[in-house]
């Protein structure tokens, strides 16, 4: 069984789905590995390093023609799917809620497509959790970006010229990215506060050094079965904004992480709130790819409104491509090996991890949360 590793084609994407040290793990399990020429360049991995680890380094055409299993980081382009063999197994991030066209195309090619973002959040799948791995990097990089752009020090400094007050940081959302942002901002010397609609995360927030902010809101139904924040009503978000304004205008840095799977990001910081913030303040909007938590955020760009910089970068894991690739490689290989027994690969639909992440199979879109997006279309 040949596992093919494709080079990422999205401009600026520097990660690679498999690193050399993990090649040997797959080979010990009875699998062969082929890597597209130059696939590891963005993560500073040479073709020779893959060869030394036991992989073959070949042109893209051979990857598509010979591989039974394909590894990628990002969702494939339509042109890549066209080059895949019918019946291939594809494992990568799929962005499936927003890519009905891709789901349809994979189904028509009878490709078994696994979306790593759909791996269930259960104990047995923790080592396969790509979302958490990448979110942790995003939280770290968010603070580094904020420190770069903020025209102030982060730590308190006592000097002969006077005392410098520490930067005040407010983190909205205490998932993996938020908790890493809190810990990183704290290590840099900032005074950190955090808010989340889920009261249950208060202890986690305090454990990494921040003060947990509580608003007068009804939050009993704030968390879904997977541990993610649930979408709330417009009235809820309006009340939230009203109470959050006093906090936002008093700080130097705001980091927002509020994303709802399959939904547009809720707007938490309005233009009115921006107008009240201190000139020179920085907002790092980690939800910018889906519209952003900040009114006026633009995915992939830095914009300035009312003297406040709003950072909408969407490629933070790629900016730490070495470690991002290392973590992704561990996650994706562990996911695959869960389906390999004595060198034989099999899709076991009785396994909740396998079933939870399988989006397309045998000519159909099979995931219960994705099928409604293709209602009435072939492949549903």
The pLDDT tens digits for 195-240 are 998 888 999 999 999 999 988 776 655 555 555 556 667 777 778 8
Per the annotation, the verdict on 224 as an active-site residue is no
Mean pLDDT within 187-202: 94
At 221 the pLDDT is 58
Given the residues 15, 99, 104, 129, the one annotated as active site:
129
Kindly list the structural domains of the chain, giving each domain's residue range(s) and its CATH number in brackets, ordered by start: 2-128+321-374 (3.40.50.720), 138-314 (3.40.50.720)
Per the annotation, the verdict on 126 as an active-site residue is yes
Q: Which two tokens stand for residue 284?
A: 């790092």
Per the annotation, the verdict on 121 as an active-site residue is yes
pLDDT tens-digit map of 53-84? 999 999 999 999 999 999 999 999 999 999 99
Given the residues 126, 127, 207, 362, the one annotated as active site:
126
Given the residues 56, 74, 83, 121, the one annotated as active site:
121
Q: Which two tokens stand for residue 121?
A: 């959040």
Alpha helix (H) residue ranges in 118-255: 130-149, 176-187, 202-207, 234-248
At 225 the pLDDT is 53
Are the C-beta atoms of 122 and 132 separated by less than 8 Å? no
For residue 51, is pLDDT > 60?
yes
pLDDT tens-digit map of 254-272? 999 998 888 899 999 999 9
Given the residues 24, 37, 66, 132, the one annotated as active site:
132
Q: Which two tokens stand for residue 52?
A: 């030394």
For residue 380, is pLDDT > 50?
no
At 242 the pLDDT is 83
Q: With bands split at pLDDT 50, 70 and 90, how would you rate the model's confidence at 379? A: very low
For residue 324, is pLDDT > 80?
yes
Mean pLDDT for the chain?
93
Mean pLDDT within 241-250: 90
Given the residues 24, 187, 224, 228, the one annotated as active site:
228
At 77 the pLDDT is 97
Per the annotation, the verdict on 132 as an active-site residue is yes
Please report how the helices 176-187 and 130-149 are oriented relative to each other, as an axis angle in degrees rounded to 10.
40
Where is pLDDT greater, at 358 or 219?
Answer: 358
Q: With bands split at pLDDT 50, 70 and 90, how would you rate the model's confidence at 378? A: very low
């Amino acid at each position: 069984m040949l596992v093919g590793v494709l080079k990422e084609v999205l401009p600026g994407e520097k990660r690679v789905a498999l690193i050399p040290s993990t090649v040997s793990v797959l080979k010990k399990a009875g699998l062969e590995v082929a890597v597209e020429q130059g696939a590891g360049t963005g993560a500073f991995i040479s073709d020779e390093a893959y060869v030394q680890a036991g992989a073959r380094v070949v042109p893209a055409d051979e990857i598509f023609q010979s591989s039974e299993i394909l590894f990628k980081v990002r969702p494939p382009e339509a042109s890549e799917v066209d080059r895949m063999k019918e019946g291939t197994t594809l494992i990568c991030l799929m962005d499936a809620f927003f890519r009905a066209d891709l789901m349809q195309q994979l189904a028509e090619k009878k490709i078994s497509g696994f979306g790593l973002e759909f791996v269930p959040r259960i104990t047995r799948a923790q080592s396969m959790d790509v979302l958490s791995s990448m979110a942790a990097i995003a939280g770290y990089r968010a603070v580094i970006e904020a420190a770069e752009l903020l025209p102030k020090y982060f730590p308190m400094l006592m000097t002969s010229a006077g005392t410098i007050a520490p930067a005040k940081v407010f983190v909205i959302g205490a998932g993996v990215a938020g908790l890493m942002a809190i810990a990183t901002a704290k290590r840099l010397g900032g005074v950190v506060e955090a808010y989340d609609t889920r009261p249950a995360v208060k202890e986690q927030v305090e454990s990494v050094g921040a003060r947990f902010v509580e608003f007068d809101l009804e939050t009993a139904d704030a968390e879904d079965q997977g541990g993610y924040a649930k979408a709330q009503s417009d009235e809820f978000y309006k009340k939230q904004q009203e109470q959050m304004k006093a906090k936002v205008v008093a700080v130097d840095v705001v980091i927002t992480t509020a994303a709802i799977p399959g939904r547009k990001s809720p707007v938490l910081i309005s233009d009115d709130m921006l107008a009240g913030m201190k000139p020179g303040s920085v907002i790092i909007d980690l939800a910018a790819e889906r519209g952003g938590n900040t009114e006026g955020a633009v995915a992939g760009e830095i914009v300035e409104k009312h003297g406040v910089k709003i950072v909408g970068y969407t490629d933070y894991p790629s900016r730490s491509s070495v470690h991002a690739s290392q973590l992704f490689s561990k996650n994706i290989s562990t996911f695959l090996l869960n389906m390999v027994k004595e060198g034989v690969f099999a899709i076991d639909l009785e396994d909740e991890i396998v079933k939870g992440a399988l989006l397309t199979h045998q000519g159909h879109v099979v995931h219960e949360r994705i099928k409604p997006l293709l209602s009435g279309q072939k492949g549903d």
